[in-house]
Structure 1
Amino acid sequence: MFIDRARIFVQSGRGGDGMSSFRHEKFVPKGGPNGGDGGQGGDVILEADSNVNTLVDFRFRRLFKAKPGGKGQGSNKYGRDAEDLIITVPLGTVIKDEASGKIMADLSRDGQQAVIAKGGRGGRGNWHFRTSANRTPTFAELGEPGEERWLRLELKVLADVGLLGYPSVGKSSILRQVSAAEPEVAAYHFTTLNPILGVVGLSDQRSFVMADIPGLIDGASEGVGLGHDFLRHIERTKILVHVLDVSGLEGRDPIEDYEKINAELVKYNEKLSHKKQIVAANKIDLLGNSDNLERLQAYMDTRDVELYPICAVNGTGMDALLERVWTLLTEYEEEPDEIDEEVVYKAVDKPDFEIKRDDDGAFVITGPRVERLVAMTNFDDDQSLRRFQRIWRYMELDKLLQEKGIQEGNTVRIYSKEFEYRK
C-alpha cells in the first residue's frame, strides 16, 4: 500500500536526575559531596532510507518516545546516556512541525538525518553546588525534560522523469511499455490513484526512474480532487513528459489540455513552469481523419516545445522519446536553490522571558531559561528551593511581574508549576 502522508508524535528522552550523595569512608567522618550527573536523554532522529518506499508503517504506529538518561550515582559516577531513537523514512520525505507549519527537515539523500527532538540534559549532581559558604549541599538538579511535538510527514516521490497529463491520456500505458512496472490500465478515469515508479532501461546499461503521476483535473492547484496530493510529487522530477491524447475520441482538444495543465502548475508553484518539458502526443494509431497532430505540432513549434508522436500500446515512437529524455537528463543542471538542505527550519531566538495573563487571571511566565529552571528544580529540598529563589531574584522576575500589575495572592504559572505570589 502506498501511503504518502502521515502524522506522528515524537518525544525525546528526559535527562537523568543528578545524584545527591556524600563520601562515606573509614577515617573520613565528614566526606564531601560526590553526587554524579545524570545522563543525556535520547534524541529523536529521522533518517532517510532508500530501502523504505512508503509511509505505511506510520498508520499503525504514531507514538515515538526516546528513552531517558540514567540517574547519576555516588562517587561522582555519571548516569548512562540514552540511545537515540532513529526513525527511518523514505527518500523525499518532508517533515513539518504541526503546530507552526514550519518545515523542519527535507530528507532526499540516503542516510541523511535530522534531529527532530533534542534529548534533555542530565541534571547536575550535588558535587557541582559546593561553595565556600555551603560545603555540604544536599540538593541536585533534576533531569531536563525532553522535547515533544506532533509532526506531519509528506512524501514527494524521487524520480528523474514525471509523466504529466489529464486522466486516461495513456501515462500508465507508457510506463508499462518502457519499464517493468505494472500500473493498472483500464478504460476509465483515475485508474492511477498513487504515484508509480518504474526503472526505464536503455541500451549500454543506461537507466533512469520514471514516475506515473496520477492525472490532474481543472482546479487541482486549489486542491480540487486530489490536486495537491498529485502536484507535490512533480516538484522533485528533473524532466516532465507532458502526455496528450491527440486522438480526439473523448472530445478533448490537446492544445486546450496542454494550456490548462500548465496553468495549474503555475498556480500551484511557479517554479514548476520552469522545468524542462517535452510533449508526447499519444494515441496516434486512433487519429483517423483528425488533424489534431498537425495542429498540435504547429502550436508547439511556435512555443519551441519538442513534440514526439507515439503510440503507448504498440510502442511506436517510444525509442525516439526515451533517447531524447536521456539526453535531457545528461544535460540537466540542478539549480542552486533546488538543492535540499538537511534541515531547513531553524528555531528563531525567543526573548528570555515573556509574561502573559491567562484566561483565569494567572500570570504565565514563558521562556527557555525560566522553564528549564523550574523543570530541573527539586522543590521538595529546602536548599534547592532557596537556590531557586536566589536565581528568581537574579532574573528580576518580581520586577517584571510588578510591571504587569501583579497583586499579593495572584497565581504565577511556569511550565507545569503554580506559585502564589508573595511580596
Structure 2
Amino acid sequence: MSNFVDYVKIHCQSGHGGAGSAHLRREKYIAKGGPDGGDGGRGGHVIMRGNAHEWTLLPLRYTRHVKAGRGENGGKSQLTGADGEDIYIDVPLGTIARNEEGEILGEILNDGDEVIIMRGGKGGLGNEHFKSATNQTPRYAQPGLPGEEGYVVFELKVLADVGLVGFPNAGKSTLLSSVSAAKPKIANYAFTTLTPNLGIVNYRNYKSFIMADIPGIIEGAAEGKGLGHRFLRHIERNSILLFLIPADSENHYQEFQILENELREYNPELLHKDFVVSISKSDMLDEELKAEIRAEFPKGMEILFFSGVTQEGLTELKDEIWQRLHG
C-alpha cells in the first residue's frame, strides 16, 4: 500500500505578472524623449502534465508547495520583461485535479496532455501604451496582476478496459495472474489487494486489453466502510465491469445484488456501464450445480463460469469481454 498513492493535496501558486515600465526616453540629441517603457512579462503557470511512465501519485506525496516563477518587469526601449518560469506537475494517466471547492480543473487521459490548473498573472502595460494627444509623456505604467494561489487535490482513477468487481476473496487476483503477466498478491484473507493492479490480457491475433484488479468491495463501501471510496473511485474509469462471484457463495444472486447496490449508492451512473457476471472458482462444479446457480439469476441473464486455477472457461470469458468492448 505504501507504493501506491491515489490522492494528494498540494498548495499551488502561479507567478505574479511583472510590472510595466514608466521609463521616458533620454537620448543625447532629443530634447524631450517620449515614453518607451516596456510591458511586464506574465507570471508562470502551474501545469499538470500526463506521464505514461508514472502509475501512482507517490512522487507528489511529499510535495507540500509548488510555486511558478514571477514575470520580469518591463524595461526601457519598449523591452518586454521575460515570462515567469512555468512549473510542471507530472501525473499518471487518469488523474483529475480539483480546487478546494471540488470543481474539476482538468483531467489527464493521454501521455503528454497538459492542463493549466493555475494561470500566471498578466504582466502590466508599460507607459508607452498610455501616451495620447493630451498626455505626451505619461509617467505611469500598470503593475503586474497577482497569480493564483490555493490548494489543489490530485486524484488518480485507474484507467482500464475491464474493472473486476467482487468481495474480498472472490478470485480477482487469481484471475488477473492467470490471464496476464501481472503478479498480484494472492492469499486467503480479506483485502489481499490493497491497491489496484493492472494487467495486459493477450487476446487472439495479437490483440489485447487492460484488466484492473481493484480492492474488494464490502457491504457499506459506499458509506466509506472498508476501503470505501478509495476503491470505488477507480471503478468509474473502467469501460466495462466484470462481476466475480465465487462458486462457494451461499447466495450468488444476492451477492451480485449487494455489489450492484454499492455501486448505485456511490454513483448511479456506474450501472449504465456494460457488465459481465461470472462465477469464479468453478472448477469443482458439475453441470448440475452450474444449472442450479444459473437458476438463481433472472431468466435471460448470461452467467459465465471459469477457474483461474485450472484455466477452465477463460477463453470463453475473454471472448465475451472482447465482444462487449468491440462488439
What is the TM-score of this pair, normalised by structure 2? 0.94
User: For 1:256, which of 234, 254, 257 is the aligned residue?
Assistant: 254
User: For 2:6, which of 4, 13, 16 is the aligned residue?
Assistant: 4
1:272 aligned partner, one-letter code = L
Q: Residue 130 of structure 1 contacts residue 136 of structure 1 at CA under 8 Å; is this kept in 2? A: yes
Q: Secondary structure at the match of 2:206?
A: coil
Aligned to 1:298: 295
Aligned to 1:146: 147
Query: Which shifted more, 168-177 or 58-67?
Result: 58-67
Unpaired runs of 5+ residues, structure 2, are none
Answer yes or no: is 1:315 the counterpart of 2:316. Answer: no
Q: CA deviation at 1:133?
A: 4.0
Answer yes or no: is 1:49 the counterpart of 2:23. Answer: no
Aligned to 2:276: 278
Q: Secondary structure at the match of 1:94?
A: strand
Q: Residue 247 of structure 1 contacts residue 286 of structure 1 at CA under 8 Å; is this kept in 2? A: no
2:156 aligned partner, one-letter code = L
Cα root mean square deviation, aligned:
1.8
Q: Secondary structure at the match of 1:238?
A: strand
Aligned to 2:60: 58
Aligned to 1:175: 176
Aligned to 1:188: 189
Q: Residue 246 of structure 1 contacts residue 292 of structure 1 at CA under 8 Å; is this kept in 2? A: no
Deviations, residues 170-214 of structure 1 (Å, cap 9, x unaligned): 000000011000000001111101111000012310100000011
What is the count of residue pairs matched by the alignment?
325
Larger radius of gyration: 1
Q: CA deviation at 1:143?
A: 1.2
Answer yes or no: is 1:97 the counterpart of 2:93. Answer: no
Q: Residue 252 of structure 2 contacts residue 296 of structure 2 at CA under 8 Å; is this kept in 1? A: no
1:151 aligned partner, one-letter code = V
Q: CA deviation at 1:301?
A: 5.0
Looking at structure 2, the residues matched to 265 and 158 of structure 1 have their Cα atoms a distance apart, in angstroms, of: 17
2:113 aligned partner, one-letter code = Q
Deviations, residues 64-97 of structure 1 (Å, cap 9, x unaligned): 1111112111111111123432222111111111
1:255 aligned partner, one-letter code = Y
Looking at structure 2, the residues matched to 291 and 319 of structure 1 have their Cα atoms a distance apart, in angstroms, of: 22
User: For 1:68, which of 58, 61, 70 is the aligned residue?
Assistant: 70
Q: Percent identity between the aligned chains?
A: 44
Q: Which has the higher contact order (CA 8 A, sep 6+)?
A: 2
2:34 aligned partner, one-letter code = G
Aligned to 1:352: none
Looking at structure 2, the residues matched to 232 and 77 of structure 1 have their Cα atoms a distance apart, in angstroms, of: 50
Alignment of 1:231-250 (within 5 A): 231-248=232-249
Looking at structure 1, the residues matched to 54 and 209 of structure 2 have their Cα atoms a distance apart, in angstroms, of: 19
User: For 2:322, which of 326, 330, 354 is the aligned residue?
Assistant: 326
Looking at structure 1, the residues matched to 59 and 180 of structure 2 have their Cα atoms a distance apart, in angstroms, of: 27
What is the TM-score of this pair, normalised by structure 1? 0.73
Looking at structure 1, the residues matched to 105 and 195 of structure 2 have their Cα atoms a distance apart, in angstroms, of: 25
Q: CA deviation at 1:225?
A: 1.6
Aligned to 1:128: 129
Q: Residue 278 of structure 1 contacts residue 305 of structure 1 at CA under 8 Å; is this kept in 2? A: no
Q: CA deviation at 1:287?
A: 4.7
